[in-house]
Structure 1
Amino acid sequence: MTTKARVESYYAGAYWGPRKETAEECARRTATFLDALSRYDSFLAEWFKPAKSLKDARKYRLMPPDLAALAELFSAGVNRADAGGVIERLGFGFWFDNGGPDGDVAELRIHCGGYSDAVPNSCVLTLPRKGQNAERLLTAQALAAIVRAMVSPWEPDWAFATSYDYYQENRKAASDPFSLGWVTYLSNRIGGVPPLPAPVRIEPVEGKGTLIVLTPERFTASNPEHVALAERVRELLDRAGLLKPLQAQP
C-alpha cells in the first residue's frame, strides 16, 4: 500500500524592524503592494475587507486599492491595554483574503507602524494549496516575482517564500530572527551576499538588496537534497555576518 505524499503549503513574508508610521502611511504601502500583485497575476487582483461572515465580506471589495478603507482597517487593528488605551508602539495590523474557496485562497496578514522590538513589522501572503492557481504560483519564477513585489512598498530587511513544513522543521529557535526560504531577499542594509553553490541563483533587486533562489524546481521539506542545500546556504550567510536581528528604521 502506497502512502500519499503530503501536500506542503507555501507562503511569502516580508519583515522589517521598528519603524514608526501612521495608519495612513501603512495604507499607502499596502495599496502599492496590492497594485503590484494585481499586475502580476489575476488571482492576486481581488481582495475583500474582513467581515463577520463570508457573505458580508464579498460585499466589500478593496480593489482598486481604497486608501481610506485601508487606513480605517489599520486604525481599527491597534493593540489595546487592559484599561482600553491604545499601545501605540505596537503599531497596526489586520487580516484579509481574496475570496477564494478553502485550499484555493490567498490571505494577507499585515503588521505595520510598530516601533517596539517585541513585535516585528511584517507582510505575510499565504498562497493557495491546490488547484490551477497553486500550480501556477508555486514556482520559483512566481515566488521570486511576489517577493520582489514586496520590496519596494515595504522596504523590508529580509523577505522569503517557502513551505510551512520547512519553516517549522528547520527554524533554529523560536527567537531566531531569520529564516531561509526557497526564495530569500536580503536588504543591502544587512550586507552583501557572498558567492553561493549551484544551483542557487543570485539576483539584484532594484538596487535595494539581493534575491537568492535556492533551486528552480519546487523546494520541499521532504526532499533531503533541498534541505541540505538550504542548510549549506544558511551556513554561508551566517559566516558572512548576514543573519542579524531586524534593524530599527527611521
Structure 2
Amino acid sequence: MLSAAQTSAPVSQGSAARIGQLAATVSTDAAKDKTTAQPIGIRTDGFIYRQLRVSDGRKDFDGRGAIAYSGLRNDSYRIGDIVTVGSDGAQFTITGFTDGAKLSVTPVIYVPLSAWSHLKLGSGLDESAAPEAAGAPSDGHATAASAPAASAVMFGEAAGSTAPDGTEQLPIGDFIQKLPGYRAQDLTSQFMLVFLFIIMLATIAVFLYILTMQTIPNFAVLKMQGILTRYLILNTIAQACSSRSSARP
C-alpha cells in the first residue's frame, strides 16, 4: 500500500496514475454463482481511464458505475446489472464492457479509486482529494499524506524520477513476473509441455521398437532385394507416427 505522500510526486508529473488492486468475489442477481474478480480502482483524471476503450455500453463512473471485462458476459453479466463486490456488500452498476481486461487469469472490474479505498480499508481518501492536501486530517485518525492512497503507481511513459523511499520501480515485464501466482502458473505450464513432449517421444520409441522387432524378417528380404537402409528407416518412422495417430480416441 502506498500513501498519498509517496504517490504525489510521480502523479504530479502528469504521466503517472494511481491504481488500487483488490481480489474479491462478485455476483449479480442474474448470475448463478459468485465469480472471483479483481476490482481495480482508477481515477477519472488519469491516463488509464482516458485510454480505456469500451466495446459495449459507455465509459461512466457516475452513480457508482463500473466497467467490467467483456468475458463476464458469458457468466450472465449485462449492462445495467448491479454487481455486489466482496463480503461487505458494496454495489456497483455495470455501465460498459472492455476487452482484454484481465489480471493474470482473473477478470478485472474497473471502479473509482475512492470506491476501491472503501472496499480495501473501509475508508480512504476521496477520489477528488488532491495530493497537495497532504497534512490535512483524514477521519481524525491519520493525515492524508500517510493514509493509504493506492496499491501502485503506473507510468504511461518511462519514469523520469527516482522511486520514493519504500517503493520500487519495475519494468512491465518484471512486474508481470512478480504477480502473485503468475510465475508458479507459468512454470507449471512449461513443465506440462515438456512432460507431454517426453511422453510423445517415448510412445514413438515403443512403436518403433515393436515395428522393428516384428518386421526383421521382412527387412532381411527387402535388403536382399537392394532396398536402401535410409528408405527402410523412414518407412518405419512413418508407420510408427501413423499408428500413434490412429490410436488416439
TM over 0.5: no
Point out the structure with the larger strand share: 2
Point out the structure with the larger helix share: 2
- After TM superposition, the score normalised by the length of structure 1 is 0.22
- After TM superposition, the score normalised by the length of structure 2 is 0.22
**Structure number with bigger Rg:** 2
